Amino acid sequence: MNPQNLLNNPQLQNISPEKLQFLMELAKNSAPNGSSPKEMAESLKNASDNAREQGMDFSQNERDLIIEVLKQSMPPEEQKKVNLLMQMMRTMRK
C-alpha cells in the first residue's frame, strides 16, 4: 500500500499524528501489491507488538478501521478471506 494513501484517506483524519505515522510505516513495509490475509495478520501482529512497546494503544474501532484501509489494496477474493478471518476472531472473543 502506498503510505501517501493513508494521509489522503478521509477515514483516518481523526487519528492521532503518532498513530498515523505508525500506520504509514506499516504501509511502507507491507507488500507493494497488497498482502495475503496470512501476511496481513502477521504484519498486524508484529505492528501491534511494536505499538505496545512504544506505549501506543489502538481502540477496537481504530483496529477495525486500519484493517479496512489495508484491505483496500487487496483483490476482492482476498478481502473476503480477511472478512471471514475477522468474523471468526470476533466470534472467538465472545
In DSSP notation, the chain reads: --HHHHHH-GGGTTS-HHHHHHHHHHHHHS-TT---HHHHHHHHHHHHHHHHHTT----HHHHHHHHHHHHTTS-HHHHHHHHHHHHHHHHHH-
Where do the structural domains in the chain lie, given as residue ranges?
3-93
pLDDT (average), residues 70-94: 83
**For position 81, what pLDDT does the model report?**
87
pLDDT (average), residues 47-73: 81
- % of the chain with per-residue pLDDT over 70: 81
**For position 94, what pLDDT does the model report?**
65
Distance of CA 14 to the CA centre of its chain: 16
Q: Is the pTM of this model over 0.85?
A: no
Per-residue model confidence as pLDDT tens digits over 15-39: 888 888 887 777 776 655 556 667 7
